[in-house]
Amino acid sequence: MKMEEIRKRYKGEWVLIAFTELDAELQVVEGEVIAHAKDRDAIYKAQAKMQDKQLAIEYLGEIPEEGDIVTIF
């Protein structure tokens, strides 16, 4: 699946991608989505179970401005 399609389909989510193609800047161009979730930890757990694959983790949402970041304890 092309990265443009992955971005559209999984907007606002974390995705674990077994990539098949990278560009010159090592950005994913194409690959297979192995897992997707709103929760980043779920993606890390899925990654831990994967072996022998070239993987990338991407967040497909808007990253907040520095002043917009709120930490809740």
Whether 73 is in a domain gets the answer no
pLDDT > 80? residue 54:
yes
What 32-36 contacts at long range (C-beta under 8 Å, 24+ apart), as own/partner pairs, is 32/1, 33/1, 33/6, 33/9, 36/10
What 3-state DSSP class applies to 5? helix
Q: Per-residue pLDDT averaged across 60-66, rounded?
A: 78
Q: For residue 47, what are the domain limits? A: 3-68
Q: What is the DSSP string of 14-34?
A: EEEEEEEEE-TTS-EEEEEEE
* Count of domains forming the chain: 1
Read off the pTM: 0.82
| Residue range 19-40, pLDDT digits in tens | 999 999 999 999 999 999 999 9
